[in-house]
Amino acid sequence: MNSIAQQLKTRFEKAFTAAFGESYSGTDPMLAPAGNPKFGDFQCNAAMSLGKKLGKPPRAIASTIVENLDIADICETPEIAGPGFINLKLKPAYLEAQVRAIAIDPRLGISQTEAPQRIAIDFSSPNIAKEMHVGHLRSTIIGDAIARILEFQGHDVLRINHIGDWGTQFGMLIAYLREVHPEALTTADALDLGDLVAFYRQAKQRFDTDETFKETARQEVVKLQAGAEDTRRAWKLLCDQSRREFQVIYDLLDIKLTERGESFYNPLLPAVVEDLTNLGLLVESDGAKCVFVDGFTNKEGEPLPLIVQKTDGGYNYATTDLAAVRYRIKEDGAKRLIYVTDSGQSNHFAQVFAVARKANWIPEDVEIVHVPFGLVLGEDGKKSKTRSGDTVRLQDLLDEAIVRARKDLEERLVTEERHETEEFIANVSHVVGLSAVKYADLSQNRASNYVFSYDKMLALQGNTAPYMLYAYVRVQGIRRKGEINFDNLDAGAKVILQSDAELVLAKHLLQLNEVVNAVGGDLLPNRICQYLFELSQKFNQFFEQCPVLQSEEPLRTSRLILCDLTARTLKLGLGLLGIQVLERM
């Protein structure tokens, strides 16, 4: 279903052709929402730009456009204001018909894409033998939301978890465990992951200060790459243990991923170097094999190379990322590659993409994009850390959100003198706590840093998950009180928009398609959060001003349709963000 703006744009394009000839058929009508509701709903600003081309006063051009504009079924008679603005006010009858159309549509008017693509999204990507921490929160939640939105649009999405499961760190850890805890290399779960992390830190310290140990670690890497049975078995045990710990968090957050770690691409790395060599792109610099691309310099202003093979013959992240680009395009058939990582990796990916383009590995019909995000900050405005200075474990952060949500709920139940079952309390605490964390992250422009505050994200007022959930619950309260089955409302009932609150709510409900399609393009999920926040506000105003169950027919059924459509829109919108709703809170 085309958005109202798209329908108006099509009508204006026809008017331009009728008024000024075929050469003006693609002219942008420069439609924008009206800045002030008293002037209408939309404003066309094209007359000013056309005035220069046609050599006529903009008001005269605006008059000619209006004379050729066929929108009587959508808008009241257009009004020309100022130097040539065309103000448009939507007809209530048109809005009523549009609302009725999306109310009977399971997709609420959101059209599926006419050009479905295979899309590969690279997100989350923790490292083996390390616990997921607050830094993984944004990649995981933002990547999942983007995947859900694109899937709903009809794209075939490949959700890739590019975990760090290969390289020097494993030689280092295995060499250290052989000394201090050898059973961890032969017995599953001989160590807790937390202990494994502690041993990793100790191994890193040894690696940085002990040349003999460093050489031992390197030999373990060689054995791992050569497929030595005992080293491979040890590596697999470490990977399996970390994988199970990651899955606990993914299950908690309802995240679906296909794991493809660095080890997956390891057999493909020699071909990357060979092909770059054959293309004449590799340059030796200080013993390493590199590719130089215009536009990349270091702090001293000197050309910055992308190293694809180190002086010792080993590979690095860039080599793996180049192999991944090639695989995702050639083997997976992806036409859009999306990488969701922190802003600090922007330059790395820009270089990798530039090298892949220089090698002609990215066809013209393939889009490749880095989706950067900022840091999660503590309430002191600094990078989020524990009191001991360690990075906050993601599991601890999520558990704390649930605990705090439960405390808030239990206090409210006492105040309201309500008695609920343990099952109810546990479920609401779980949903509200996790929803609050997800929504607080997604409601920010992803490019910005944001301050993590449990108090703010769990607040019942403001742009928070609890506020959205309460709007949904309010509709369910109407359903229960009136013993209404929304599925059994009269299928032929007319939507009646009489009051300002009804009109404002209806217009907002009709914008969902436009918002979702915009996010499918710019990959900014905070647009959906803002839309849902404003929807909740407008619904609450409607609820306060327009009696529902007490109204006489046919107004009662019309208002019930608006209530149900609001709830379904909230449920769908929150679902696209990976947030589930509650029937009661």
List the chain domain ranges. 4-90, 118-161+262-374, 168-254
The structure tokens listed for 552 are: 């006489």
Beta bridge mates, 346: none
Output the tens digit of pLDDT for each of the chain's 585 residues.
Answer: 778 999 999 999 999 999 998 888 888 999 999 888 888 999 999 998 888 888 899 999 999 999 999 999 999 999 999 999 999 999 999 999 999 999 999 999 998 999 999 999 999 999 998 889 888 999 999 999 999 999 999 999 999 999 999 988 888 999 999 999 898 888 887 777 778 888 888 999 999 999 999 999 988 988 888 888 999 999 999 899 899 999 999 999 999 999 999 999 999 999 999 999 999 999 998 889 999 999 998 888 889 999 999 888 888 899 999 999 999 999 999 999 999 999 999 999 999 999 999 999 999 999 999 999 999 998 888 887 766 567 788 999 999 999 999 999 999 999 999 999 999 999 999 999 999 999 999 999 999 999 999 999 999 999 999 999 999 999 999 999 999 999 999 878 999 999 999 999 999 999 999 999 999 999 999 999 999 999 999 999 999 999 999 999 999 999 999 999 999 999 999 999 999 999 999
Sort 521 into a burial class: Cβ within 10 Å, 0-12 / 13-18 / 19+. exposed
Neighbours of 362 (CB within 10 A): 18
- Exposed, middle or buried by CB within 10 Å (0-12, 13-18, 19+), for 62? buried
Q: Which of 238, 195, 241, 240 has the alpha carbon at shortest distance from 220?
A: 238
Sign of CA dihedral 528, 532, 533, 534: positive
Rounded to the nearest angstrom, the gap between the alpha carbon of residue 493 and the centroid of all alpha carbons in its chain is 37
> What CATH number labels 118-161+262-374?
3.40.50.620
Residue 374: CA atoms inside 13 Å, Cβ hemisphere, count? Answer: 18
Alpha-carbon distance 213 to 543, whole Å? 70
- Name beta bridge partners: 342: 373
Q: Phi, psi (5° rounding) for residue 29?
A: -70, -5
**Token pair belonging to 547:** 């009696």
- What is the structure's pLDDT at 388? 59
Residue 156 and residue 120 in contact, taking contact as beta carbons nearer than 8 Å: no
Spatial distance between the Cα atoms of 229 and 232, rounded to a whole number of angstroms:
5
Strands (E), 252-333: 258-259, 283-285, 288-297, 303-309
Amino acid at 529: C
* Alpha-carbon 524 to chain mean position: 6
316-322, Cβ contacts within 8 angstroms, sequence gap of 24 or more: 317/348, 318/348, 318/351, 318/352, 318/355, 319/269, 319/272, 319/273, 320/166, 320/262, 320/265, 320/266, 320/269, 321/348, 321/349, 321/352, 322/272, 322/352, 322/355, 322/356, 322/361
pLDDT at 168: 85
Task: State the greatest distance between any 2 C-alpha atoms of the chain, in Å, as a whole number.
Answer: 87
User: Crossing angle, helix 193-209 and helix 168-180, to 10 degrees?
Assistant: 100
Place of tokens 């709510």: 505
Torsion of CA 555, 560, 561, 565, to 10 degrees: 140
CATH placement of domain 4-90: 3.30.1360.70
The DSSP bridge partners found for residue 79 are 87
What's CA 68's distance to the chain center, in Å?
Answer: 42
